Amino acid sequence: MINLYSAQIESLSIHRVGNKSRSEGAFLSKERYQLNDEITPLIKEFFFKPFRDKEENYYQFVHESDLEFHELSSLVKSIFENPSRSHEVSVAIAKLLYEQSEHPHIKPGEVYVAHIENVMLDNEKVDAVGVFKSELKQDFLQFKEGESNLNMHLEQGVSLNKLDKGCLIFNKNAEEGYKILSIDSNRYDAKYWLDSFLGVDILADENFHTKKYLKFCQDFAKDVVLPAEDKKEEVMFMNRAVNHFAKNDEFVEQNFMNEVMENPALIPEFNNYKLEKAPKYKIEDLTSFPISNTAVSAARKKIKSVIQLDTNIQIKLDFINPESAEKFVEKGWDEERQMYYYLVYFNKEQKS
């Protein structure tokens, strides 16, 4: 989990790279950009906001032979080891990005390379290298006073509301390829940023494993539990699954099966579903792993605990207190109406 509240940009270099296939060239600044009190808070929000708003999916540098041959990883390492060389290294990073800017869809833009200190990552203070790119320009009006009229001029610039591409490379787990977050608002050239330039792959840590296993459970509930039983049991299965993750620090699949699978008939169905679908979720050989509380909280927010009925009525079940649904909600069949019904018990209505 990251906290960027106290993060400080210690150095910033800005360059511009064009599309190499169109011979647009690159402009490489000779010196660092001198930040001031006016621009610093704005540029920090520009760089950091996308990472605060986005779910944390970590990457790491990878290389087919050895990480020592990974060019960007080596450049970032040199900044961590000697921050005074950050501008010199930023030029090399901009050149590297330019070399990868050959596809016709790739847009020219400004490249920002920042050395950042006081980042809280997993409750540990680390420094980071940020590489950001702005591509899309927006029209805006500039007004100037004439002798008798107010004149307007159409200009173009970068909106501080949206960063097109960016990554934060944290000074942690260097031997394994660092711990990296990436955002890309423009999906038309995703391979260019993640694969060609960054050269990263998913970091299969506890956050990744927790998120993927819970997503697997959610799809099992939809594909198997719902057709075999009903919507209430689908919701209750995920309720039990999420609560199992929430109250344990370590996931052990056998313990999970014993606690969550209330219907024994679903156990072979679960095993068969995992055998068939596991590669999709990258959980083929996963039977135990540390649980990420951050991933559990994010999953809880996404999972719907609502029974939507075709009579325009919704029944919302409580994920925090699953025993309420077990005790106080019953499903039945009305022969006279030829309809299903839910019977809900309560003592009094709660004020909203």
Give Cβ neighbours of residue 242 (< 8 Å, ≥ 6 apart).
214, 296, 299, 300, 303, 319
More confidently predicted of 237 and 330:
237
Q: What is the pLDDT of residues 94-151, one digit of tens each?
A: 999 999 998 888 899 999 999 999 999 988 999 999 999 999 899 999 999 988 999 9
Whether 160 has a pLDDT exceeding 80, the answer reads: yes
Residue that has been written with the tokens 């010199």 in this structure: 88
**Nearest C-alpha neighbor of 211 from the set 245, 183, 177:** 245
With 90 as the cut, is the pLDDT of residue 320 above it? no
- The conformation of residue 338, written as its DSSP 8-state character, comes to T
The 10s digit of each residue's pLDDT in 39-84 is: 999 999 999 999 987 777 899 999 988 888 999 999 999 999 999 9
pLDDT at 348: 81
Average pLDDT, the chain: 89
CB 65 within 8 A of CB 133: no
| Model pLDDT for residues 230-274, shown as the tens digit of each residue | 877 888 888 889 989 999 999 999 999 999 988 888 899 999 999
CA distances from 230 to 121, 223, 270, 351 (A): 42, 11, 17, 30
Does residue 129 contact residue 115 with C-beta atoms inside 8 Å?
Answer: yes
Tokens 């394994």 -> residue: 176
pLDDT band at 186 (very low <50, low <70, confident <90, very high): confident
Secondary structure string (H, E, C) spanning 121-152 = ECCEEEEEEEEEEECCCEEEEEEEECCCCEEE
More confident residue, 78 or 343: 78
Distance CA 130, CA 43 (A): 12
pLDDT at 352: 63
Confidence of residue 318 (pLDDT cuts 50, 70, 90): low
Q: Which secondary structure element, helix H or strand E, spans residue 72, and what is its range? A: helix 71-81
Give residue 323's pLDDT band: very low, low, confident or very high (50, 70, 90): low
Give the pTM.
0.79
